[in-house]
Chains A and B, each alone.
Chain A
Amino acid sequence: MLTQALFRALDRKAVWVISIFLAVAILVPMANLLIPPGQFGHVPTYLVSLLGKYLSYAILALALDLVWGYCGILSLGHGAFFALGGYAMGMYLMRQIGSRGVYGNPTLPDFMVFLNYRELPWYWLGFDNFWFALAMVVFVPGLLAFIFGFFAFRSRVTGVYLSIMTQAMTFALLLAFFRNDMGFGGNNGLTDFKDILGAPVQSQTTRTALFAATAVALAISVFICSLIVNSKLGKVMIAVRDAESRTRFIGYRVEYVKLFAFTVSAIMAGVAGALYVPQVGIINPGEFEPGNSIEVVIWTAVGGRGTLIGPIIGAIAVNMGKSWFTSALPDLWLFALGALFVFVTLFMPKGIVGLWSQLFGKSRSKPVITPSQSSDIERGEDPASFGSPQPKPAE
């Protein structure tokens, strides 16, 4: 019964995506560990970590897609949730260093010894326990999103106002985490990790395991998102996206729907950050840069928002492009990224995933900008679905 219900909730595409990433979670580590180096099909360890990084970005993009693509909330602060999850994991990893730090202090991380801390700040307590840290990875971004969203959605801060407020939130956190006396390592952040769950963080097996964990987490994220968007709640989310006032007038509590989506999305972003940190080996306040959060938005837009596979494709494609550009043509990367922003918003509103239907599909006959859209400026609302007929504003 339950499995049947689940399968009904998942569409075929989601099942495919989940299966692919579960397969990747098994095949890539195997290709790394079992096929000897030099032989065809071997995946070098650095590549495994790189792919793992892409996949954690994909989770982040998927998280953003849940609020932006399905609920119409453009968050410019998802980098903050990502970084908070990363910091929670980083704090666990710092505690695992133990007395192997430069100063050899068994409880205090190096930077605290350096800054003359005499004892561990209260908010660092408990982070030596992996499961506690994991709980914090979920809890801290979730709580922040809940509080922020509760106030913002309750007072109907929408559209660009909300985007700007989320950007201000991540900017405030950026400033805060840069401070040395916050107790999070200041601008150096947390780094020089040794162990995770007793296994050395740099070793080949740990890296492949982390990769597999990320791929599985991505599959689970797709599963959860699919469950949400295919449920009745998901339909209401889409209704909020397309006609917020009308949904409210019909009788739905729009703010709670938004709050749910925002909080779940923040938790997913936090988990992505927690998976990201051990694979890149550092977390610093730079992750809170407003620019990073906006970059996540472009991943989602490039892949195609409002779909489950789009943001994953977008995150991986853009980051592969970034890796290539920054090593081959570092000066041109910002040009490319900027052009991507402009190009995608102007010409590919449905992203890579929607390219086929945009070029050859039914919506071809309809202009991307309908006359009714240009009259919606005053509404300050985002009619997120392009091509499809716009709902008439509830006036």
Chain B
Amino acid sequence: MLNLRTILLALLALPFLLTPARAQDVDIPASIAAMGEANLRELTQLVSDLAATGDPAVIPALEALAEGDLYLDETSGTVVVQRGSTHLDPVSGDEISLGEAADLSRIRVNNSLRRDIAAALSGMTLMSDNPRTRLSAAQGFTARPDAANLPLLDEAIAAETDTAVLKAMQTARAVTVLGDGDSALEDRQAAVPIVAQSAGRAASTILNAALAEAPEALQATISSAIAGLEQERAVWNALQNVWFGMSLGSVLLLAAIGLAITFGVMGVINMAHGEMVMLGAYTTFLVQLVIRQNFPFLLDQSLLIALPVAFLVTGAIGVCIERGIIRWLYGRPLETLLATWGLSLILQQTVRSIFGPTNQMVIAPTWMSGSFEFYGLSITYGRFWIFIFAAVVFAMLLLVLNRTPLGLQMRAVTQNRRMASSMGIRTPFVDAMTFGLGSGIAGLAGVALTQIDNISPNLGQNYIIDSFMVVVFGGVGNLWGTLVGALTLGVANKFLEPYAGAVLGKILILVLIILFIQRRPRGLFALKGRAVEQ
């Protein structure tokens, strides 16, 4: 019925575009008025009479009849179209006001009559002057192939000049021929590739339906066409999976990149990193709460406002953690791991005490809701912007690391702490800044995650192990490693999911990483040289 609706929508514009140019041998207003009292059989006759006029003026009435919007006023005996609370004249389209005594009853139609109407409308419009109308008419024939329409289609194809419409008409003809048992075998075989190429998503349904009734000689042609289509669809599915994987990868990248910096520079695994993400998400929630209560006009920008706030909040917390706990534990990475784990428990429980264990909501801004079609891919705006955001964060971080004094010092400390210290770099300051930067980026990740995940005290825990995997897989001390690691894991995850299921896919990924670490114990992009020591 979807196609019918598109036709009807296209037809709504008709009365304004078409001028009555055909001869009238049927009295249109009289026939329409007669519909009021007609039974189903008479109604069918009336419809075909009206359709035979080829006059676009009958279209609104026929449409209304098919939609069940055509009513008979029992008191006055007039037939009207009901649109919401207004009533229109079925022929002229003018508004009529019915009296108080009006007693409307719907003119009933059944499905076969609806089909007749739709076919009649398509046939009428196939010769229309407007290419868009002809196009939707051709699509209508594709959806409801009927061998009786073949002469009509042939006539239309011969007269057609617009290539897009011509193609649609040829498709309609091919679909009709294919389904018509009386057509010659060669014609039907020739129709198969046309159907496969141009019928779009419906093609495999049409072909499969044809396959069931086709004679043996035709079956081979159809089967190979179906196989070709399936191959094509597999490619599109793969591309869709790649996109899903990249989207997941961008989320992983956001969550892991801060971890990669702190681990790379300071050699500490920050188990509270996930909680920084969680705090970033809660900051977003709070920012939106404040904005909604005080500055509702900024609501659509609340995510953008939350970005710097979350960065500063989590960054400051990060610096406090580094100054308060981690600096006492340098040289004891395993102890750092334990202390930060304890910290993550405290942070989680704090948030749980303040906000409660239930999920909080952050409303998506309008520019992040909905989705768009990119060739055959369906991409949601939320995922799309997160992907862009991850790319921007990555680029900015690259800039910071490669083009700023702090970045230079951080790289120096990563490569050789003692030498950097000897050259006058204040390594404790670099450590604090690095930890702050890493935590701040985790906060940014939290802002992005509000759009795709529940905001709960456990938010961070869901990402921490995956983030570790990204860091371990990508290697330490090189942002590109993190990028490649995140995207690879994301795409691999999405590709394994359809075959192995989401859970088993994840397990397989973990096992693969464990095996990978055997080959390259320091990850994909390992630091080389003396800095590695062991």
Contacts and interface: CB of A to CB of B under 8 A. Distances in A.
Contacts of A294: 338, 341
A375 interface: yes
Q: Dominant SS at the B interface? A: helix
Contacts of A102: none
A381 B534 contact: yes
Contact of B332 (A155, A169, A339, A382): A382
Contact of A374 (B331, B511, B533): B331
Given A159-B334, A335-B349, A377-B330, A342 B339 contact: yes
Contact of A165 (B348, B350, B517): B517
Given A165-B517, A297-B338, A156 B469 contact: no
Given A74-B334, A171-B510, A161 B349 contact: no
A156 B518 CA distance: 8
B329 A345 contact: yes
Contacts of B112: none
A349 interface: yes
Interface string A21-48: 0000000000000000000000000000
Contact of A159 (B333, B338, B342, B517): B333
Nearest to B471: A164
A369 interface: yes
Contacts of B267: 160, 377-378, 380
B-side interface size class: 35 or more
A169 B341 contact: no
A260 B339 CA distance: 28
A325 to B, nearest CB: 12
A168 to B, nearest CB: 5
Interface stretch (A58-66, A174-182, A211-219): A174-182
B108 interface: no
Contacts of A156: 521, 534
Nearest to A151: B518
A169 B514 contact: yes
B271 to A, nearest CB: 8
B343 interface: yes
A84 B350 CA distance: 33
Contacts of B335: 345, 349
A301 interface: yes
Given A158-B534, A169-B514, A334-B349, A175 B506 contact: yes
A164 B521 CA distance: 12
B330 A160 contact: no
Interface string A240-257: 000011000000000000
Contacts of B426: none
Given A165-B517, A168-B465, A334-B346, A341 B266 contact: no
Nearest to A157: B521
Contacts of B349: 331, 334-335, 338
A334 B345 contact: yes
Given A151-B518, A337-B342, A160 B507 contact: no
Nearest to A248: B534
A168 B263 CA distance: 17
A301 B504 CA distance: 34
A378 B533 contact: yes
Contact of B533 (A161, A346, A380): A380
Given A301-B338, A341-B339, A345-B335, A168 B468 contact: yes
Contact of B330 (A152, A175, A338, A369): A369
Contacts of A13: none
Interface in A128-159: 148, 151-152, 154-159
Contacts of B506: 172, 175
A190 to B, nearest CB: 19
Q: Dominant SS at the A interface? A: helix
Contacts of B325: 342, 346
Given A156-B521, A380-B533, A381-B534, A375 B417 contact: yes
Contacts of B263: 160
A393 B503 CA distance: 43
Given A168-B468, A341-B339, A377 B331 contact: yes
A284 interface: no
B418 interface: yes
Contact of A164 (B268, B331, B338, B468): B468
A11 interface: no
B472 interface: yes
A282 interface: no
B514 A175 contact: no
Given A164-B269, A341-B342, A379-B533, A346 B329 contact: yes
Interface string B224-257: 0000000000000000000000000000000000
A163 B271 CA distance: 12
B17 interface: no
Contact of A339 (B328, B344, B346): B346
A382 B329 CA distance: 11
Contacts of A164: 269, 468-469, 472
A338 B325 CA distance: 13
Nearest to A395: B533
A279 B263 CA distance: 42
B531 interface: yes
A374 B517 CA distance: 27
Contacts of A275: none
Nearest to B431: A377
Nearest to B418: A375
B343 A375 contact: no
A89 interface: no
9 contacts: A155-B519, A160-B334, A169-B510, A171-B465, A179-B504, A369-B329, A369-B332, A378-B416, A379-B533
Interface of A: 74, 148, 151-152, 154-161, 163-165, 167-169, 171-172, 175-176, 178-179, 244-245, 290, 294, 297-298, 301, 331, 334-335, 337-342, 344-346, 349, 369, 372-384, 393, 395
- Nearest first, the 4 A-B pairs at minimum CB distance are A341-B342, A373-B331, A338-B345, A338-B346
